[in-house]
């Protein structure tokens, strides 16, 4: 067990390095000059050259990558070209808001998905099964940003029940677990929960339907085991696969909420990335993407460990 866990942790090291290299190269091969974000169009050549030296843009790409990784290992992601503030400070505040939004959306999506999927898997080829499958397909197919705009029109503009933008009546740093702040979280969380709800529903339905058709379930029924006991065995056998899907969906919510956060002006990493892209803010782009990518790597590692604890067959394999 310990050897397996150590091997999984060691695998994460080269993956993290490869992720950092991809993040660095993707930002640099994009068109546009980052200096134009901070230097006026009529700036003298000497000023432009000085800016390039100050931000290390006059070096070769391998040198820039080496310096960036070395500084990142020491907690220095550089300074934003747009604000002049340390990138780590900008990302830290945004990540906290995105994690909160992703966790709430995951809780909603996973709870509904597991409920609908379990019911559909237990009641195969019935009207309930067809309704659950149709709902899951609709959830996966509906674009995030379109659903967000529809919810804003209905619940904010027409009914006036929920706010359309922001993270609270004041600054996002002053967020508190009260209704005045939670109401700002409802619409973006519901919007983000739709796709994971659909995916989890289909995954759980397939897993439950497959397990209920296996011989050991027939044996348990023949021995007179009650439905609650059979359900427990089904949950234990379905948990590893479902857990893997949930972990991936949580990671996607962390990195794929840029459009939803932009629609609702939620001050998270998505809105931060959107701003950095339009401002061509390379340090901010690199830092934000790196943090999100490493979060995804760590999340996958945690899911692998949990799967190993839940399913002994993985350790034996």
Q: Which of 268, 270, 264, 271 is nearest to 165 (CA)?
A: 264
Q: What is the pLDDT of residue 313?
A: 63
- Cβ-proximal residues to 161 (8 Å cutoff; 6+ apart), any chain: 155
Name the DSSP letter for residue 79. Answer: B
Q: What is the pLDDT of residue 256?
A: 62
Q: 19-56: buried (b, 16+ CB within 10 Å) or exposed (e) per residue?
A: bbeebbeebeeeeeebbebbbeeeeeeeebeebbeebe
Q: What is the pLDDT of residue 315?
A: 57
Q: Which of 313, 258, 250 is nearest to 288 (CA)?
A: 258
Instruction: Give residue limits of the domains in the chain.
Output: 91-316
Side-chain half-sphere of 14: how many Cα atoms within 13 Å? Answer: 4
How does pLDDT run across 252-265, given as a tens digit for each residue?
A: 787 667 788 888 88
Q: What is the pLDDT of residue 171?
A: 54
pTM of the model: 0.79
On the 0-12 / 13-18 / 19+ scale of CB atoms within 10 A, 158 is: exposed
Q: What is the pLDDT along the chain (317 residues), one digit of tens a residue?
A: 677 677 777 877 888 788 788 877 776 676 666 666 666 667 777 777 777 777 777 787 788 888 888 888 888 888 887 777 888 888 888 888 888 888 899 899 888 988 898 888 888 888 988 898 898 888 888 888 889 999 999 999 888 888 888 877 765 556 677 788 888 889 999 999 998 899 999 888 888 888 887 778 778 777 777 777 777 878 777 777 787 788 778 877 876 677 888 888 888 888 888 888 777 777 888 888 888 888 888 887 887 777 777 666 655 55
User: What CATH architecture applies to the domain 91-316?
Assistant: Orthogonal Bundle (1.10)
How does pLDDT run across 116-167, given as a tens digit for each residue?
A: 988 888 888 889 888 988 988 888 888 888 899 999 999 998 888 888 888 7
Q: What CA–CA distance (Å, rounded) separates 65 from 88? A: 17
Could you tell me where the DSSP H helices lie in 178-317? 179-212, 215-222, 227-255, 258-264, 269-279, 282-310, 312-316
Q: What is the pLDDT of residue 187?
A: 92
Phi, psi of 86 (to 5 degrees): -60, 135
């Amino acid at each position: 067990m310990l050897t397996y866990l150590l091997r999984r942790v060691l695998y994460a090291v080269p993956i993290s390095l490869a992720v950092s290299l991809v993040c660095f190269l993707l930002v640099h091969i994009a068109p546009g000059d980052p200096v134009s974000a901070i230097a006026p169009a009529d700036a003298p050549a000497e000023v432009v050259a000085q800016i390039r030296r100050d931000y290390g843009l006059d070096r070769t790409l391998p040198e820039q990558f080496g310096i960036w990784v070395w500084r990142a290992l020491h907690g220095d992601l550089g300074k934003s070209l747009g604000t002049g503030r340390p990138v780590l400070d900008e990302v830290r505040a945004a990540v906290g808001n995105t994690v909160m939004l992703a966790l709430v959306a995951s809780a909603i999506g996973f709870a509904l998905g597991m409920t609908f999927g379990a019911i559909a898997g237990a009641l195969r080829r019935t009207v309930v099964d067809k309704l659950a499958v149709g709902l899951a397909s609709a959830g996966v197919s509906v674009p995030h940003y379109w659903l967000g705009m529809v919810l804003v029109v209905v619940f904010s503009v027409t009914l006036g029940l929920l706010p359309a933008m922001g993270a609270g009546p004041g600054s996002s740093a002053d967020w508190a677990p009260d209704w005045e702040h939670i109401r700002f979280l409802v619409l973006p969380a519901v919007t983000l929960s739709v796709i994971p709800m659909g995916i989890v529903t289909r995954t759980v339905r397939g897993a439950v339907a497959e397990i209920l058709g296996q011989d050991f379930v027939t044996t348990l029924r023949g021995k007179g085991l009650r439905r609650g006991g059979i359900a427990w065995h089904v949950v234990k056998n379905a948990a590893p696969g479902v857990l893997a899907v949930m972990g991936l969906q949580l990671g996607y919510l962390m990195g794929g909420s840029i459009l939803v956060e932009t629609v609702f002006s939620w001050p998270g990493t998505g809105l931060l990335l959107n701003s950095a892209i339009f401002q061509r803010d390379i340090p901010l782009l690199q830092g934000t993407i790196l943090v999100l990518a490493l979060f995804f790597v760590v999340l996958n590692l945690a899911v692998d460990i949990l799967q190993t604890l839940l399913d002994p067959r993985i350790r034996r394999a």
